[in-house]
A and B are shown apart, each in its own frame.
Chain A
Amino acid sequence: MSGDDVIRGFSAMGKSDIDAVWSKKFIREALASGELIASEFIDPASVGLESEWVAAMRHPRLPFVSYPYEWSFNMLKDAALTQLRLTRAALADGVGVKDASPYNVQFVGSQPVFIDAGSFEVRKATDPWYGYKQFCEMFLYPLMLQSYLGVQFQPFMRGAVNGVSPDTMRKLLPMRLLRRRKGRLIHVVLHAAAQNKFADTKVDVKKQSAKAGMSAAVLDATLRKLEKLVGELSLHDKESTWSEYSERAHYVESSLDEKERFVRDAVASSHRHQVWDIGCNDGRFSRIAAAHSDHVVAMDADPLVVDRLYQSLRNEKNKSILPLYVDLSDSGGGIGWRGIERPGIFERGKPDVVLFLAVIHHVAITFNIPVVAQLDLLRDLTPEIVIEFPHADDPMVKRLLLNKRDGIHSDFNLAEFERLLGERFDVRSKMLLSSGTRTIFHATRKN
């Protein structure tokens, strides 16, 4: 990486592929549509690469790197369709795509972008599609879990960097007589059986597939059918805890207006590079922040809420707000090799400002994460916060406390909050919202 760019080096072997591939029509079209990340060949020596790197490419740095376990259903679905579309277009141009990993797709705002120029290779007419199994494990099965069973896929994807295996999926997804689970028989049952049956590797699959008459036409038919199958998978959940909720019910409209003004004044005081909106709900405040920053990462602990936000951003072709599913009470760890292959969310960005609106009481009371721990997180994360604190007599706080043991959250009150906040941040401005039970603060970190 150098400055605002990312440099990719190619070895001699990689260079022959990339040279042949880069002249193809599908690459030009994917670059023009933005589906493939902008890429420019440069002299490897000019960026200090050693002589073993015989070619190099420069890409713009992504605003924020996100992972499939942070995406909502329709984000993973759109990433899957991007992968399939590119694989098909490449195939038509005689190019193979080596893998099918959602980690090769990133989102710029609501737009999926394929980032791995190294995935392309010149293919022989009879080569198989090596990415099929990976496509099933990391795109198709997670989407099926959600669409057919109503089970969130995110914990599976976070639990295993390689996704859900055919054998596991077969055990998870039972047959249903009345409403057929499309794709189950071939991609799950047969796939698992074939994996088990032919699990040895002492076979030259390329030769075998050539001998059997594998062709681009066969693979195109497979990819086309997969596109149709994925296209038909949908999110059936219509309601979740927070999707219908909106803390807004607790505000009189004037309260909301004044809160918007407060947030706008705080964020607009200078131009921001990156803003995080933790607990974004429908993205109302993310949009305000987006008007005064390069990009916003909008996080919520409810994947359905995130999905709705994603869909509305996608309809607007928004490229500055990235919606992500992040549960603050269970976030931050890296996964994969040594836990650093895919680093945790806090390692991937440095927000200039964090909006923490109508969140602290949920995390404190429902998840028992002390207010002081939340303020420590914010101090470590960002130099500036806009934070809303509902007082002990706020209707939502009362509701959250209803079934908790008496006295367990007796320190959840405004005076104690202000004391803890003041130890870590300097308060620039604060305002009692007209509901009378919430105070909002704009604060900067103490040096």
Chain B
Amino acid sequence: MNPNASQSSEISGKKKLGLIVNPVAGMGGRVGLKGTDGGDAVKEAKLLGATPEAPQRAKDALRVISRIREKIQLFTYPKEMGEEEATQCGFRPSVIGSIKSGETSPEDTRRAAAEMKNLGVDLLLFAGGDGTARDIYNAMGRDRGLTLLGIPAGVKMYSGVFALNAKSAGDAAVSFLETSTRNVVEAEIMDIDEASFRKGIVVARLYGYLRIPEERRYMQSVKSGGIQTQKQVIQGMAADLAKNAQEDCLYIYGPGTTTRDIVAEFGLEKTLLGVDVVLGGRIIAKDVNERELTILADGKRKAKIVVTVIGQQGYIFGRGNQQVSPEIIKRVGRENIIVVASKEKLASLEGRPLLVDTGKEEVDKMLAGYVRVITGFEDYVVYKVGF
């Protein structure tokens, strides 16, 4: 017998699927906050005009799963924590627990997870980010038997429990629920301290492991934090950018150590996690949100977006740089997107494509294909972009 196989708790009848939506997850992304853990951050995000990301992502996944909805019993929490999303996708969920709508908290997530564990769900699907994953992990106590799958909807997704995107989460859930013997693997629950994160320090901490379906093609790799960048490689990339630099062109630099260090080579101090805008050799705006960026990149002046690859996942858009919205990407144009990454980073993808998840399929499609990545001075890698 395969020791990694988990038998279904239901001998006959329907499979049990649990669903938790963290309705505030991902709200900080577009408005330039680094996550919404902690009540003030949620309020700030709302003030800045953030709209919920997670409900939409959850629905994208549920639509895929709805084709087997007759075969499963869906358990979820009330209103925006899953009930609404499930109902809108044609499910008739069993709603458990109670919440104060509009004021959900991590405590609600923890309670929901504990109750679903007690119900013996075959798979717990959740929409959120690292904070949500951590809350679920904390609710498990000593029993780590639950199988989890994350619909990526947060700003930070360093944990290894997330599918590549919402649709992949749906595919992976269907594939997992439809087979009687399921292979599971343990995946890291990681998170970074948001307070440090906002100050520009990336320290990904490993909290523990939970089981996830073994579906590598659908899953994100664990993002690794704190990798040192080789100075010479950075200098090479900076020299290449400088050689081809255009005057009177906005350079929109995405987050990450690579972009920060490249900008440092120009004698400028870039924020680590924010999107900064450079024009004529100086930074004209730091840590801009989507609205500010839309005003700056108004389409009248030429603009280029410089982004790097986030960790081992391979994302160039849609993880940690949601301020660069699909609208801005579209306006700037594919030919003005510059990707910078070391060969080590590209090698760590092990042949998997670079990924984009801008939130708009049309823009994801526009970005798909092959991109020329700057890996040093006059040194490039042509690499596939998928979504």
Q: Are A and B interaction partners?
A: no
Residues of B within 8 A of A (CB): none
